[in-house]
Amino acid sequence: MIVVGLVLLIVVLPVVIVLLKGVLDAANAIVPSVDRIAVAAHAGSADLDAVPLLLTTQRQVKETVANVAAYGGSLDVILDDAS
């Protein structure tokens, strides 16, 4: 009985402590990484707040292309062809 108790104290307990400490350290190391990922994802989401401006860009591109087409049509009329 004494031997079993000593083995538990001298061998099993240190091994259990080392293994559990390793698990705890790994878990604690993940926490700051997850926090940084959350901050980055939030910042990325905030950056995309300007996405609706693409609709303005789309409308302006259509208007510009229409104006360019009209201008090109006029040039086609007033300028002679190369050949």
Tell me if residue 16 falls in helix, strand or coil.
Answer: helix
Structure tokens, 66:
């229409």
User: Residue holding tokens 């959350």?
Assistant: 38
6-45 residues near other proteins, rule: CB under 8 A: 6, 8-9, 12-13, 16-17, 20-21, 23-24, 27-28, 30-31, 34-35, 37-38, 41-42, 44-45
The amino acid present at 54, given as its one-letter code, is L
- Report the C-alpha gap between 83 and 72 in whole angstroms: 18
Instruction: Read off the amino acid at residue 12.
Output: V
Based on the shown chain and the rule CB under 8 A, indicate whether residue 77 belongs to the binding site for other proteins: no
Give the interface with other proteins as residue ranges (CB under 8 A). Answer: 1-2, 4-6, 8-9, 12-13, 16-17, 20-21, 23-24, 27-28, 30-31, 34-35, 37-38, 41-42, 44-45, 48-49, 51, 54-55, 57-58, 61-62, 64-65, 68-69, 72, 75-76, 79-83
